[in-house]
Amino acid sequence: MAIAGVVVVGLVAGGLWVTRDRSSSPDASPSRAAPASGDAAAQARAIASKLADVDLVGQMLMPFVYGDDPDEVSDSTRELNRARTGAGTPSEIITKYRLGGVILVRRASDDPTAPTNPASNIGSPAQVRKFTDGLQKTAAELPAGVPLMIGVDQEHGTVTRIRDGVTRLPTAMAFGAADDPALTEQAAAVSGAELAALGIDVDFAPDADVIGGPGNTVIGSRSFGADPALVSRQVVASVRGYQKAGVATALKHFPGHGHTDVDSHEAIPVLGQDRSTLEKDDLAPFQAGIDAGSRIVMSGHLDVEAIDPGTPASLSHKVLTDLLRGELGFTGMVVTDGLDMKALTDKYSAGEVAVRAVLAGNDLLLLPPDVRGAQQALLGALKSGRLPRARAVEAVTRVLTVKLASRPAVPGLDTLKSAEHVAAVERAAAAAVTLLRGKCSGALVRGPVTITGGSAESRQFLSAALGRAGVKVGAGGDSIHLTGYLDTAADLRPASVTVATDTPYLLAAAKSPTLLATYGTAESSMNALAAVLTGRAKAPGLSPVPVAGLPRSACS
């Protein structure tokens, strides 16, 4: 049935699941369910309360699936899926487990979350769009009759799953250095619009963690900064920007992963702050994001000694139900951080983690390491009464409410890297560049210049930008050294200019007469750096974290 360019392809209780007519928009992708009338939460409750146990449990699971196509996979990929789930293709896995969601993952060695990313199901934008379209078609045939939730960790910076063919934003810390909520909101809207064009409706971002110091490398430049008020401003702006595009945000990692020096991928970090310090330094940005309307909060695998010592926050009723819901007033969906992290797997089975997580207050289980084990444990807990059906219905109601929330039509792929999007991101990157030592005007280098350090990509971006400004890059002349992710003092080199392209802490040990920070390596950040180096722009940013012996800016 076609109605004004729309084809009805499915029904949900009280609403319609529609796609835009491909004949009128060949680039179109399935829209999320937009209720025709009534309250999304009421409709979600009506659906959830009628689901069979297996469908109820399926809606609480969001695993990774091998393969970059719903149905056509290689023999080796099919065997990997079968070994992991008992089904061969992404579509078969969705059908077998009646899944409520799937996460898209890109494995990269320069990513702090790499140890738990088994492979990649992300390629080109066209591939991602085709993949998500196909997954939604499979989900439409499940008894629940609701769309699939498709999520991704698109934080920008070290944790950026989709890198090719999209507008890449500066890091969160770069936005903290600019500290202009309007620029942050505009850039977040760009990211949200492009994710929506790819068929993705949840971004596991922004990072609401307040960074506590240089020892926390797993968070690092993923944080907006060290000041809770600054982080709160940026979280609010980010949430608002994504909401404009209809993409749900997930504040993470509750109740705060910034004041730790342990990676929960490897072990369980301990938060030793007293309650008042926790509230002041960690909880404030989460409260701000909740008040701004974020639909999702991600629970962290963190031992919060002031609230429930010895129990991971992601499995703690005191943290997720008493604190998050009772005290902070959050009514949306709670999703676990990846359940495949050693902070949990070293102590609990996949099935036991799943049951404990739901009982604690999580509504969606992300990356269960054993999908069948999680499913069977939850079904067994429902049957035995350990997991009350009312709690499962409550969890699924929250998941479905996010899915059924009204949102605009999905944009076409021509949205990606549009001139308007690139310009918005370039403005933000330019506002972030910070001069911590050196002169505040005029050219900082004269060609030819030599570039060392950093990543191959960042050197390539910077070389190209300097070349466009008429500066030759090669041997001799001034030298520019880029410090990158996980660099130490041993990686520093004598240079005319040293630039921090991740956290700026290492600049405290640099001897260069000129010290700059971009906080990231995106092309927009390297373009902004080149403009400052050549004297075509000033460096207006203020370091959002303290760097020993250096001012927030040498020019303020």
Residues labelled as active-site residues: 265, 337
Signed CA dihedral, 238, 120, 486, 169: sign only: negative
Token match 């604190």: residue? 323
Residue 391 gets the label, from left (phi > 0), alpha (psi -120 to 50) or beta, of: alpha
CB 334 within 8 A of CB 252: no
Residues 456, 352: Cα–Cα separation, whole Å: 43
Q: For 284-320, what is the HEC assignment?
A: HHHHHHHHCCCCEEEECCCEECCCCCCCEHHHCHHHH
Concatenated DSSP letters for 131-181? HHHHHHHHHHTSTT--PPEEEE-B-SSSSBS--SSS-PPPPHHHHHHH--H
Q: How far apart are the two ends of the chain, measured CA to CA in Å?
A: 63
CA angle 180, 185, 190 (to 5 degrees): 130
Strand residue runs (E) in 181-295: 202-203, 248-254, 270-271
Q: Tell me phi and psi for residue 159, to 5 degrees.
A: -105, 85
User: Which H helix or E strand runs over 400?
Assistant: helix 389-404
User: Which H helix or E strand runs over 441?
Assistant: none
Q: How far is CA 289 from CA 191, 229, 248, 252, 531, in A?
A: 18, 12, 12, 10, 34
Q: For 452-507, what is the HEC assignment?
A: EECCHHHHHHHHHHHHHCCCCECCCCEEEEEECCCCCHHHCCCCCEEEECCCCHHH
CB 90 within 8 A of CB 102: yes
CB 189 within 8 A of CB 244: yes
40 SS3 class: helix
Q: How far is CA 343 from CA 312, 378, 462, in A?
A: 8, 21, 39
User: Which H helix or E strand runs over 280?
Assistant: none
364 SS3 class: strand
Residues 67, 78: Cα–Cα separation, whole Å: 8
